[in-house]
Amino acid sequence: MTQRPPNLDEIERLLTQSMNGLHILFDNAVVARILQKPTEELDFFSFENIDRIQSLFTKFVERPTLNDKRLFIDSLDRASFEILVRTYFHIVDNSILAANRPRH
């Protein structure tokens, strides 16, 4: 059996906390401002944007500690930060939806 990288455990904890409304890496007011315009209206997950989304989120996940993740977030330009926020909360929303689906 292969061992899971510790950064995956860390991101799962972050996502679980976010699913419960505790967003420790992001300012709620900033998130609300960014998500005020729905991602679906922006054609956000377009083919042209997927590589950038994946690259940013992978770099974020690979940071081993919360402090490293904060430093990464603080280093982003405005557009990259918005991409990361939209991607992160898209994953949170989908995780909530998946957790609440009836299972047969």
The DSSP letter of residue 26 is: S
pLDDT score of 74: 96
CB 61 within 8 A of CB 73: no
Return the structure tokens found at 71: 């430093």
Highest mean pLDDT among 8-12, 16-20, 31-35: 31-35
pTM for the model stands at 0.81
Q: What are 54-81's pLDDT values in tens digits?
A: 999 999 999 988 899 999 999 999 999 9
For 1, residues 6+ apart whose C-beta sits below 8 A from its C-beta are none
- The phi and psi torsions of 20 (rounded to 5 degrees) equal -95, 10
- The phi and psi torsions of 51 (rounded to 5 degrees) equal -60, -45
